[in-house]
Structure formats: C-alpha cells, structure tokens
C-alpha cells in the first residue's frame, strides 16, 4: 500500500473532515495518547493529545515485514559493536577530537574498560528508523535513517494509536482499510526486556530506575512501559541526574543505591544530548556506569548508536567483520543502508565536501547528536561546510544521501495548529529488544552465554 490510499473525495470533504478531526481528538484522549502542555510541562493537571495524523500512514506489506526481519540482525549488530573496543576506538577516533560530547562519553567508556566491567547482563531497547526511498520506476526500497540506542521513545503512545485510526476509519465508512491496521504493543515488548533483565539481576527488592529529564511533557509514553512493569510486581522509581548526584552511592560490591534503594536497572530516558549534563551529571553517569546495575543502554551501546559508527558500517568489509560466514545477514542489513560519507581530514573527506557543495539538495548533513531537529539540509549545508571545510571541525559531521520518499496527503493534528491538508513524509520505526547474559564467577570467566531477541514494532 503506497501513495494516497485515502480517496481524494474523502480528503477534500471539509464537512466530513471536521467531524473526523473531533472524533480523532476525543479518541486520542480516551485512549491515552497524551502529552502535557508547554505551559505546564511538569503537571498532569492540564493535558492534551499528542501530535498525530488523522489517517494512518501507508507502508507496503513486503517492506514492513522486511523491516521486522532485519531488526533481529540489527539487535545482534549493535550488541557485537558494543563488545568490540578496537572497532569503537577506530571508528570514533576522529570524532572525539572535535566533538566534546562524544569525547566525554568515550572517556567514561575508557574508564569502565580500564577498571573492568562490573555487570554481565546487557539490555538493549533500540529503535531503528526508516524511510521508503522512491525509485524512478515507482518502486520503493527500505532505507535506514538512524538507529536509536538510548531513550528510544513513543513505544508507549504508539501502542494506543491503532485504536484511534481504526475508529476514525470506521466513522469515515472505510471498513476495508480499517481491517488493514495491525495490532501493535511496543510498550509490552519493552517491558518484557526490562523484566527479563530484572529477573537476571536477582533481587526482588531492587528497583528499576527511570532516569528522566527535568521537563516531562512526554511522561505518558514512559508511564505505559512503567505500568507494564508494575503489573509484573516490579518496583519502579523515577529520578533525575540531580537526584542520583545527591543520594546515589555504590557499596563495596558496586551495587548502586539511590535514596537508599538498590537499583537493578537504570533505564535512560535522558542523557543523550550535551544539554542534559552538568559536571555533577557527568559524575553521576560515571558512577552509574561503574555500578553493578544493568544499564539500558550501557556506555558502549550508547556509543554504538552514534552517527559516525553508522557511517563506518557502510564501508566495504565492515559488516563482514561482525558477521563472518553469514553473507545473507550482511546482505539484508546492507540493503537498508543509504549512502554515508566521511568528512574526516584527507582526500576522501575532501571529496565528500566537494560532492556536498556541488549538489547540496541530494544530501543531509548530520552532526553527532540524537533527539531530532539537528540535521542540516539544502543551502544550509553549503553555509556550514564553507565555514568548516578546511578545519578539523568538519569531522564532527557525516554526510548522508537524502532519501526521496513518496509524499502522502494527510491532516496533522497538533494543539494550536490550523487544520489543513498537508504533504507528509513518514518514517517507520521498528523497536528491537535484546538481553545478553554472560554468567561469570571468580573461577570461570565465562561459563554460559545466551542471547534473547524479542521483536516489537511501531506502526503509525
């Protein structure tokens, strides 16, 4: 299914659209697809619906299942990268020279490696984001935009979105299209991964700590995962970096305590941007990484999700390094890659600069940042690169081919925004959950190794 699958006579029927918009907004409130308001970001006294589209976005069935299938391989890839210190050192060597944030993260990584890893349980809650690249013959291919290894959001809200779209389509009389919307419950899958890691930690008194931001507009997305854990009788606390600074400590066995409570898992919903850190917060991050608590993600998995690592994976032979003897896996992963190019100093980086300046509309310039809103497009690429093209500062970026998805007409529903038919470009986000456990003892370095892959998906 691709293109404008909702007929034009429906999209242009203003009376019907007004009815459907009211139905959709009420359905969003009834289903708990909520956010706090800008005016009261830390209070649930006043809430509104989270931004969403009136109609669901179409995804071709074959591409949808391709994205689900390859997620298992991306789970393994991220985990393998996180265990390969030589690769991380090589891949990020140029970036840490010019990007202070990545350097600070990498310094913590080096500290943990030097001291020795304390915890053998590894938990990954990732989200791989894709767009459909439209070809001249009308076909489309799945291209990865990025993989998020820290604070991958909207698993909670997206679990309730299908109910809204089904209801809207029923009211619109589109019963056949209604049947094509899939069930989706990423929050349960994310909670299952957290629950498995908590079980392996082995203390019923220990809590899962959601490390949260100061501003909490998107709190309900967290709450869905949190409530799934409470259903399993797993205790959850919510704290900020500042709370860890004030009340956090390690005992002689490096168990982490916050407010006097032992912490089994630290689930990072914060810590992915420079502005999340003060000097005290950096100290708290180091204490967490040194602790026995399971980190989601741990520092090496956080680094595995950087843009520079994504670019390095596109180089010939790199995927084969992680999947020796598995050409089918390499082929499936590589098929999702868009062109990614280095901006390191030297002839290869110089060629990338010249290519971007000549045809800026064909590329996206990406800094080493997460959280959205940081990418650079069009004429702005020329402006940025002209300023750094002869400087090592350019190494803080990578260049990516601009994916050309097929636009779809839809109505974007956002508090305070005028209602109008918009041209929309959609992403498909696929959640991946994995737990790796290496049982260790003082006598035997590795006595058991098992990997569990749990796949849940986001379909909007």
Q: Which residues are annotated as a binding site for ATP?
A: 146, 307, 366-375, 377, 427
Q: What is the mean pLDDT of residues 82-87?
A: 97
Share of the chain above pLDDT 90, in %: 87
What is the model's pTM? 0.92
Q: Which residues are annotated as a binding site for substrate?
A: 127
Q: What confidence category does residue 4 fall into, taking pLDDT thresholds of 50, 70 and 90? A: low
Cα(305)–Cα(307) distance, rounded to whole angstroms? 7
Q: What confidence category does residue 429 fall into, taking pLDDT thresholds of 50, 70 and 90? A: very high
| pLDDT at 297 (0 to 100) | 98
pLDDT beyond 80 at 372: no
The structural domains of the chain, ordered by start, are 8-338+409-455 (3.40.50.1760), 339-402 (3.30.1490.50)
DSSP 336-349: TBPPEE---SSHHH
Q: What is the mean pLDDT of residues 13-30?
A: 97
Cα(265)–Cα(281) distance, rounded to whole angstroms? 18
Cα(45)–Cα(23) distance, rounded to whole angstroms? 23
For the chain, the average pLDDT equals: 92
Cα(248)–Cα(263) distance, rounded to whole angstroms? 10
| pLDDT at 439 (0 to 100) | 60
Between the alpha carbon of residue 57 and those of residues 1, 167, 359, 373, 407, the distances in Å are 9, 15, 30, 21, 10
Phi, psi dihedrals of residue 86, rounded to the nearest 5°: -65, -45
Cα(420)–Cα(406) distance, rounded to whole angstroms? 19
* pLDDT per position as a tens digit, 43-62: 999 999 999 999 999 899 99
Neighbours of 10 (CB within 10 A): 16
* pLDDT per position as a tens digit, 253-312: 999 999 999 999 999 999 999 999 999 999 999 999 999 999 999 999 999 999 999 999
pLDDT beyond 90 at 136: no
Neighbours of 387 (CB within 10 A): 11
Cα(39)–Cα(45) distance, rounded to whole angstroms? 11
With a CB cutoff of 8 Å and minimum separation 6, the contacts of 234 are: 194, 195, 198, 208
Contacts for 106-109: CB closer than 8 Å, 24+ residues apart: 106/303, 108/282, 108/285, 108/286, 108/289, 108/299, 109/299, 109/300, 109/303
Q: Which residues are annotated as a binding site?
A: 127, 146, 148, 307, 366-375, 377, 427
Between the alpha carbon of residue 231 and those of residues 111, 169, 188, 227, the distances in Å are 37, 32, 11, 6
Cα(295)–Cα(159) distance, rounded to whole angstroms? 24
Q: What confidence category does residue 446 fall into, taking pLDDT thresholds of 50, 70 and 90? A: very low
* pLDDT per position as a tens digit, 220-232: 999 999 999 999 9
Q: Which residues are annotated as a binding site for Mg(2+)?
A: 146, 148, 370
């Amino acid at each position: 299914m691709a293109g404008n699958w909702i007929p034009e006579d429906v999209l242009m029927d203003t009376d019907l659209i007004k009815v459907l918009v009211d139905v959709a907004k009420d359905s969003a409130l009834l289903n708990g697809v909520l956010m706090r308001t800008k005016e009261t970001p830390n209070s649930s006294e006043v809430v509104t619906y989270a931004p969403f589209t009136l109609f669901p976005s179409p995804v071709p069935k074959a591409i949808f299942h391709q994205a689900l299938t390859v997620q298992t391989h991306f789970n393994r890839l991220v985990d393998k990268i996180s265990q390969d210190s030589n690769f991380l050192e090589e891949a990020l060597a140029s970036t840490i020279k010019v990007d202070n944030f990545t350097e600070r993260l990498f310094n913590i990584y080096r500290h943990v490696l030097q001291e020795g890893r304390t915890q053998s349980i590894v938990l990954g809650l990732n989200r791989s984001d894709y767009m459909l690249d439209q070809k001249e013959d009308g076909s489309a291919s799945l291209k990865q935009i990025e993989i998020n290894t820290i604070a991958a959001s909207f698993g909670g809200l997206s679990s309730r979105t299908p109910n809204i779209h089904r209801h809207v389509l029923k009211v619109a009389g589109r019963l056949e299209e209604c049947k094509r919307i899939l069930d989706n419950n990423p929050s349960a899958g994310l909670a299952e991964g957290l629950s498995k890691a908590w079980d392996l930690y082995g203390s019923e008194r220990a809590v899962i700590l959601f490390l949260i931001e100061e501003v909490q507009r998107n709190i309900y997305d967290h709450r869905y995962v949190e409530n799934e854990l409470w259903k399993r009788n797993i205790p959850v606390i919510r704290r900020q970096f500042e709370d860890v600074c004030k009340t956090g400590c390690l005992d002689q066995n490096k168990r982490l305590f916050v407010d006097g409570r032992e912490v089994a898992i630290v689930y990072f919903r914060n810590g992915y941007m420079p502005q999340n850190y003060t000097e005290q917060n950096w100290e708290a991050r180091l204490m967490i990484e040194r602790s026995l608590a399971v980190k989601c993600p741990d520092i090496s998995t956080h680094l595995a999700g950087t843009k520079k690592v994504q670019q390095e994976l596109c180089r010939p032979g790199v995927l084969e390094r992680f999947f020796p003897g598995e050409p089918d896996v390499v082929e499936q992963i590589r098929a999702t890659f868009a062109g990614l190019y280095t901006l390191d100093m030297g002839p290869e980086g110089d060629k990338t600069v010249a290519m971007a300046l000549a045809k800026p509309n064909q590329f996206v310039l990406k800094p080493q940042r997460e959280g959205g809103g940081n990418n650079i497009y069009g004429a702005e690429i020329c402006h940025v690169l002209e300023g750094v093209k002869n400087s090592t500062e350019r190494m803080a970026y990578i260049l990516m081919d601009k994916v050309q998805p097929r636009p779809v007409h839809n109505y974007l529903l956002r508090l305070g925004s005028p209602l109008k038919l918009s041209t929309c470009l959609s992403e498909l986000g696929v959640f991946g959950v994995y737990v790796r456990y290496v049982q260790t003892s003082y006598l035997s370095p590795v006595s058991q190794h098992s990997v569990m892959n749990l796949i849940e998906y986001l379909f909007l």
